[in-house]
Amino acid sequence: MGRSHHFHLDQGGHSITVNVGPGREGEIELLVNGKVVAYQREHGPGLNLLTGELPDEPVRIFRVRIREPRLVPIAPRCTLELDGVEHPMPERHLV
């Protein structure tokens, strides 16, 4: 069984965090400013997509793409897409 992965990026005064549970049956949580705004019960290999909103005026919608390799057991990659610009989300290693 794999381990959990945590990605984080501060964007426009907001904290955006993605938690990917271990293994192929772990959940994915998308948090904005510490609150869960999207949740996916299971994830699998390939592309997983979640959508959230930044509480600005007006609200800004964004997407997060989590790519998990199908054949090679390496860590997933996470990318934030906001206002048409892609931002790689660095992985945070929690102790």
Contact 5/43 with Cβ under 8 angstroms? no
Q: In the predicted model, is pLDDT for residue 1 greater than 60? A: no
**pLDDT at residue number 46:** 84
pLDDT at residue number 54: 96
The mean per-residue pLDDT over the stretch 20-46 comes to 86
CB-based burial label for 94 (10 Å; 0-12, 13-18, 19+):
exposed
pTM of the model: 0.88
User: What's the mean pLDDT in 68-83?
Assistant: 84
User: d(Cα 78, Cα 65) in Å, to the nearest integer?
Assistant: 6
Mean pLDDT to the nearest integer, 1-19: 89
What pLDDT sits at residue 59?
94
Amino acid making up residue 3:
R
Q: What is the model's pLDDT at position 22? A: 81
pLDDT value for 45: 74
